[in-house]
Amino acid sequence: MKVLVFGGSFDPVHKGHVAMLKKALQIIRPDVAHVVPAYHSPFKAKSPTPFKLRMQMAKAAFAPLGKHIIFDDYELKRGGKTYSYQLVQYLRQRYENPDIYLLVGTDCLNDLHAWKNPEYIFKNATVVAGKRKGFPEHKADFKHVFLPGVFPKMSSTRVRAHILASGTIPQDKVPEAVGQIILKNDLYGLEVHRWLKAHLKPNRYLHSVKVAEQCSLLSDIYEVPAEKAVQAGILHDAGKGFSGAELIAFCKDYKIKVPFFDDICRFEPSLLHSYVSAWLAKHEFGVKDKEVLNAISEHTLGSLHMSTLSKILFVADISSKDRKYKDAFVIRTLAVQDLEKALLYAANRKLWFTIDSQKWLCPVGIELWNHLVKCAA
Ligand SMILES: [Fe+2]
Ligand SMILES: [Fe+2]
């Protein structure tokens, strides 16, 4: 009895998953295949998407591949974390003398020895791996089958970041039936886009999308989690739809702490929008990550303690692709080469722009400038 098993968070299922299972079914020719969505992956923070929906997406994507696929809620019934060796144990109990094939991506192969109880897996199962583009050849010292061909380099994290940044489903990466479930259930930040469209002018909404996309690009280069960068980018101007008077009232009503509040209220109340946006991110959209909230608060004036994420947002905001002035192009080009230089240039341009407009300079911006000059010296 040949049993193929394919576990994963499937949050969401992408076309890379489908291609790999399809090929494994052709090559291994199992009598039965178990698709087992993780209840709580040992390698990831608990998936925020309900199990029921991830199972629904798995069924929508994989059911067309064959009638011998069992959509198994073993991990849900078990609760807590399930390690792969426990999956193998369970299948050994369920079938008599099963020949078990465990399907994984080659990126997982490199970590396989770090899995819990790998000896048990190697003794009782054959590892089936699909090679993904960009991953080096792997020499496996255990029972294994490499599937022929190279599978697209896709990740669910990237798919989620794309949806959160753009409010659209990447059709080249997500099976249509899975896309329908995402749309129907407003997953991965689609509700954020609806809110922004309702509360911001079309140009400001477009700007938010472009900033989120720029944040995503820079997060890759500077090794910041893409979802955090995109979250900061898409929400950074959420409070920009308010007038100056409304921003002042908002900050007073919700007791939002703002440095130089009285001067800002008097001379440049629009500066309050970053603090209000951070408040909205936290209270309207449930963002808890302090780094994301700080990046949003600091996106206009900066601070002396900017994280890499804060720097990315500061630079992305002034140089996103919807910005048409010449400096935007210069900063965008600089940002992919050297984030610190791009930050210095962006801070410089902001100060000059404020002076040229005969506007009040907030001491926070001046402090940032002096700090950056000192750091660069
Ligand atoms: Fe802003
Ligand atoms: Fe902005």
Tell me the C-alpha to C-alpha distance, in Å, between residue 79 and each of 42, 76, 93.
12, 5, 18
Distance 48 CA to ligand 1 centre (A): 28
Distance 200 CA to ligand 2 centre (A): 12
Total residues belonging to the chain? 377
Give the residue from 131, 166, 201 where a domain finishes.
166
Of 301, 377, 297, which Cα lies nearest the Cα of 346?
Answer: 301
pLDDT of residue 4: 97
Distance 168 CA to ligand 1 centre (A): 23
Q: Is residue 338 part of a domain?
A: yes
- Residue 132's φ and ψ, nearest 5 degrees, are -105, 150
Distance 124 CA to ligand 1 centre (A): 56
Q: What's the rounded Cα separation, in Å, for the pair 17 and 145?
A: 17
Ligand (nearest to CA of 247): 1
Ligand (nearest to CA of 211): 2
Query: Running DSSP on this structure, what letter comes out for residue 148?
Result: E
Ligand (nearest to CA of 278): 1
Amino acid at 117: N
Q: Is residue 186 part of a domain?
A: no
Distance 242 CA to ligand 1 centre (A): 12
Q: What's the rounded Cα separation, in Å, for the pair 250 and 365?
A: 23
Following DSSP, what letter does each residue of 16-62 receive, concatenated? HHHHHHHHHHHHH--SEEEEEE-SS-TTSSPPSS-HHHHHHHHHHHH
> Which residues lie below 8 Å from residue 229, measured CB to CB, with a gap of 6+?
161, 215, 216, 218, 219, 309, 312, 313
Ligand (nearest to CA of 271): 1
Tell me the C-alpha to C-alpha distance, in Å, between residue 355 and each of 76, 115, 262.
60, 58, 20
Domain containing residue 70: 2-166
pLDDT of residue 3: 97
CATH number for the domain including 273? Answer: 1.10.3210.10
Distance 210 CA to ligand 1 centre (A): 13
- 111/254 same-domain check: no
pLDDT of residue 330: 96
Distance 357 CA to ligand 1 centre (A): 17
Distance 196 CA to ligand 1 centre (A): 14
Q: Is residue 147 part of a domain?
A: yes
Q: Is residue 182 part of a domain?
A: no
- 122/217 same-domain check: no
163-213: pLDDT as tens digits: 999 999 999 999 999 999 999 999 999 999 999 999 999 999 999 999 999
In 10 A of CB 142, how many CB atoms? 15
21-62: pLDDT as tens digits: 999 999 999 999 999 998 877 666 666 799 999 999 999 999
Q: Is residue 80 part of a domain?
A: yes
CATH number for the domain including 49? Answer: 3.40.50.620
- 148/245 same-domain check: no
**Residues less than 5 Å from ion ligand 2, measured at CB:** 237, 317
**Residue 105, H or E segment:** strand 99-105
Q: Is residue 185 part of a domain?
A: no
Distance 302 CA to ligand 2 centre (A): 13
Distance 144 CA to ligand 2 centre (A): 50
- 249/153 same-domain check: no
pLDDT of residue 269: 98
pLDDT of residue 80: 81
- 328/368 same-domain check: yes
Q: Is residue 179 part of a domain?
A: no
Of 226, 188, 230, which Cα lies nearest the Cα of 54?
Answer: 188
- 162/222 same-domain check: no
- 261/332 same-domain check: yes
**Residue 164, H or E segment:** helix 156-166
Residues facing residue 5 across a β-bridge: 34, 102
- 225/294 same-domain check: yes
pLDDT of residue 67: 87
- Residues 163, 170: contact at Cβ < 8 Å? yes
Q: How many structural domains are present in the chain?
A: 2
In 10 A of CB 246, how many CB atoms? 15
- 234/334 same-domain check: yes
In 10 A of CB 289, how many CB atoms? 16
What six digits make up the tokens of 281? Answer: 């991110």
Distance 15 CA to ligand 1 centre (A): 36
Q: Is residue 172 part of a domain?
A: no
- 102/157 same-domain check: yes
Question: Which stretches in the chain have pLDDT values below 70?
Answer: 42-47, 105-111, 113, 134-140
Distance 4 CA to ligand 2 centre (A): 49
